[in-house]
Amino acid sequence: MTDTTRRASDSTELAARYPALHAPQRWEWGGIDAQFSAEPPPDELVTNIHLVGFAEGRVVLCRDVRGHWFLPGGTREAAESIESCLERELREEAGARLLSPATWIGHHLAVCDGPAPYRPWQPHPVKAWLWGWADVLVDSAPTNPDDGEQVVEVRPVPPEEAQQLLSQYREPWWPELIALAVESRTG
């Protein structure tokens, strides 16, 4: 079996186990059509980075002023590396730092139907949202910059509780994303 055939087989099997995650998405809030892939995206397309952070085996969630739970992460700044963005976003939203390098589990290739990029330096209309996991330590309060989400609570919870909390406010594929991160971490 060739590497290409093996990757295609692995991708098909992964999509069968996580069908909601791999289904075509329409994110109305951003005018975005998105499709998940376990393959790494080209660096120059990555505009957003999010992490399933594990603190002693629990998933770190953040709650904003609206009461919505989310995974830490956010928008990459101009000329910022993926690693620097991840470190900054973890500190801003979760008051956390990395204890291990991030393991990237996939990305959503996103096509925006808006007339211009969200930020002038971003690729447009095609971009990528990168998803990963890492061990983290929550060791301070979120810094809550003025231009970011205002986090009122950071809570490490068991993965099953994270799936339940995220499914209340997010797309139906979020529980599968958590399951994929757990599988990647323990496998």
Residue 16, in any domain of the structure: no
Alpha helix (H) residue ranges in the chain: 3-17, 19-22, 82-94, 159-169, 174-186
- pLDDT exceeding 70 applies to what percent of the chain? 95
The answer as to whether 87 is a domain residue is: yes
CATH code assigned at 116:
3.90.79.10
Q: Provide the number of structural domains found in the chain.
A: 1
What pLDDT is attached to residue 126? 98
160 is a domain residue: yes
Using CA atoms, how far apart are residues 80 and 77, in angstroms rounded to an integer? 5
- Provide the CA 24 distance to its chain's centre, in angstroms: 17
Give the pTM: 0.92
pLDDT > 90: percent of the chain: 88
Structure tokens of 24? 């075509």
In tens, the pLDDT along 32-66 reads: 999 999 999 999 999 999 999 999 999 999 999 99
Under-50 pLDDT residues of the chain: 4-5
* CA geometry: angle 75, 8, 174, nearest 5 deg: 40
For 67, the domain range is 27-186
CB 108 within 8 A of CB 129: yes
Structure tokens at 178: 């958590």
